[in-house]
Amino acid sequence: MERPLTDPKATSYRLFILCVSIVSLLVIGAMMLVPMEPETYRLMEFIDVVACVVFLSDFLRQLYKAESRWKYFYTWGWLDLVASIPSIDAFRWGRAVRLVRIAQMLRGVRSGRDLFKILGHYRRRSTAAVTALIAFLSITFGSMGILHFELGAEESNIRTAEDAFWWAWVTITTVGYGDYTPVTSGGRIIAMILMVVGVGLFSSLSGLIASWLLMPSSSSVEK
């Protein structure tokens, strides 16, 4: 059974899945409708696979928590499972069903003000989901942007989908191995944005872990 939307854990988690679903549908639409370089297309496919891993994890989570697993699978579960298959184009559009379903779950939040009030009041519980969402979106659009700017540059060594995704990953984690570096102005702007976002994300995670470690075990109310 789904938790009520006044539960901050349910709200933040559903928002995370909703945003991943929207990004996945945008990626699929671009792959099918927009002409693009082969490496850009491969990057889109890789991002879609990552989104499908998230969807499959969500399916397994809901199947495990369902009061009646057969009822869940018979009503929504099989659609959630189909939407987790990345390689078949006809199944990819099953993500649209996820959008409708999640939108129904979020109807309990009557306005954006109510939503942010819930997330703001329960900041600690919302931090993990919001951090994961920002990281996913940053790596997704960062890798797409860097490949767009660097693919045609003569001196650039970021030339494949794997190069772009790896570069975005190590940049947002602030590791910065230096094996792949942007040479274009647009690529360097993306790098600066990812580095700033990465510092903020890991600062938030550090604070979250510290609050969990310091929180009294008898505490039952979190604000």
The pLDDT tens digits of the residues spanning 51-94 come to: 888 888 888 888 888 888 888 887 777 777 777 777 655 556 55
Contact 106, 97 (CB under 8 A): no
Q: Do 129 and 97 share a domain, yes or no?
A: no
Q: Do 71 and 132 share a domain, yes or no?
A: no
Q: Do 88 and 6 share a domain, yes or no?
A: yes
- The whole-number pLDDT of residue 27 equals 81
Which percentage of the chain shows pLDDT scores above 90? 17
Where a domain ends, among 114, 134, 168?
114
Range of the domain at 36: 1-114
Residue 222, SS3? coil
Q: Do 104 and 6 share a domain, yes or no?
A: yes
| CATH number for the domain that contains residue 25 | 1.20.120
Look up the pTM and report it. Answer: 0.68
Q: Do 7 and 73 share a domain, yes or no?
A: yes
Q: Do 77 and 153 share a domain, yes or no?
A: no
pLDDT band at 164 (very low <50, low <70, confident <90, very high): very high
- The whole-number pLDDT of residue 112 equals 47
The alpha carbon of residue 45 and the mean position of all alpha carbons in its chain are separated, in whole angstroms, by: 15
Q: Do 102 and 9 share a domain, yes or no?
A: yes
Which percentage of the chain shows pLDDT scores above 70? 73
Report which of residues 186 and 219 the model is more confident about.
Answer: 186
Contact 122, 222 (CB under 8 A): yes
pLDDT band at 111 (very low <50, low <70, confident <90, very high): very low
Residue 89, domain member (yes or no): yes
Q: Do 88 and 159 share a domain, yes or no?
A: no
Report which of residues 98 and 139 the model is more confident about.
Answer: 139
* Tens-place pLDDT, residues 147-159: 989 987 888 889 8
Q: Do 77 and 181 share a domain, yes or no?
A: no
- The whole-number pLDDT of residue 9 equals 56
Contact 29, 49 (CB under 8 A): no
Structural domain total, the chain = 2
Residue 42, domain member (yes or no): yes
Where a domain ends, among 114, 143, 164?
114
Mean pLDDT confidence for 91-103: 57
Q: Do 110 and 147 share a domain, yes or no?
A: no
Q: Which residues contact 204 (CB under 8 A, 6 or more apart)?
A: 127, 131
